[in-house]
């Protein structure tokens, strides 16, 4: 995949990779079972998990006016996402400690 597209392709690529892995792990023995497992695994998917940071990714693509994305663009997005996750964990810990006290 060209380096211009991973920011936008990531959610759907990740979704398909996980779906494929989950179905394969269930070892379907025939077409009907494969079809059944695909539907069951698809229904387990929460799209929010795959697209929660998608708006930021689109903004990053727009910020470079459609030009080539460089590795530092991707790293910046990953760092921001990591910070947000850490902040969520801290907030959760704070809330839990307040509840306990």
Q: Where are the chain's structural domains?
A: 6-100
pLDDT digits (tens, 9 = 90+) for 36-66: 999 999 999 888 777 776 777 777 777 777 6
pLDDT band for position 24 (cuts 50, 70, 90):
very high
What are all long-range contacts of 5-10, with beta carbons under 8 Å and residues at least 24 apart? 6/69, 6/74, 7/57, 7/58, 7/60, 7/61, 7/69, 7/73, 7/74, 7/77, 8/54, 8/57, 8/58, 8/61, 10/57
Mean pLDDT of 25-35: 96
**Residue 3, pLDDT score:** 47
Question: What does pTM read for this prediction?
Answer: 0.51
């Amino acid at each position: 995949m060209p380096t211009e597209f991973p920011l936008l392709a990531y959610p759907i690529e990740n979704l398909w990779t996980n779906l494929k892995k989950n179905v394969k792990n269930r070892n379907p023995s025939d077409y009907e079972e494969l079809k059944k497992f695909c539907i069951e695994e698809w229904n387990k998917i929460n799209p929010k998990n795959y697209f929660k940071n998608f708006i930021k990714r689109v903004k990053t693509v727009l910020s470079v006016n459609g030009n080539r994305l460089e590795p530092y663009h991707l790293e910046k997005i990953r760092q921001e996402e990591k910070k947000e996750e850490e902040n969520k964990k801290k907030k959760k810990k704070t809330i839990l400690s307040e509840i306990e006290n």
